């Protein structure tokens, strides 16, 4: 049976909802669709204040997407130390960082050609 295709906009909205429900910070959406050789359509980048919050954000994203869209990630890595967790939904890859790790790697600058949308914190 073929995997059901999930609309990117709906998936993006549910990922953002999952991040916001546990107060993830500094949410950016990088639109990679116009970039040659990009690995996916979008990156969503956010951060938490501790490994506990990073894992809570990851869990909230997965729970929200699973509940609303009946979809689960193709791959998840980094949950052991929860400094940088990557959740791969194929067309959308979510990066959940601890703040100091995010600042160190500065992924946004590596994808400088991407259109970046910043989501304002609701709290």
* Closest by Cα among 91, 116, 118 to 7: 91
**pLDDT tens string 40-77:** 999 999 999 999 999 999 999 999 999 999 999 999 99
- Give the contacts of 31 (CB within 8 A, at least 6 positions apart): 41, 42, 114, 115, 116, 117
Q: How far apart are CA 65 and CA 12, in angstroms?
A: 9
Please report the pLDDT score of residue 97 as a whole number. 98
**pLDDT tens string 12-51:** 999 999 999 999 999 999 999 999 889 999 999 999 999 9
Q: Count how many Cα atoms sit within 13 Å of the Cα of residue 91 in the half-sphere of its side chain.
A: 11
- Across the chain, mean pLDDT equals 93
pTM (two decimals): 0.93
């Amino acid at each position: 049976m073929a995997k059901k295709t999930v609309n990117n906009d709906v998936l993006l909205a549910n990922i953002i909802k999952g991040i916001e429900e546990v107060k993830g910070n500094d949410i950016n959406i990088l639109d990679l669709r116009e970039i040659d050789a990009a690995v996916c359509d979008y990156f969503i980048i956010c951060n938490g204040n501790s490994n506990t919050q990073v894992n809570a954000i990851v869990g909230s994203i997965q729970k929200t997407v699973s509940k609303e869209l009946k979809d689960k990630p193709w791959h998840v890595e980094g949950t052991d130390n929860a400094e940088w967790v990557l959740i791969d939904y194929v067309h959308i890859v979510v990066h959940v960082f601890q703040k100091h790790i995010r600042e160190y790697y500065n992924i946004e600058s590596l994808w400088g050609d991407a259109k970046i949308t910043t989501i304002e914190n609701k709290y």
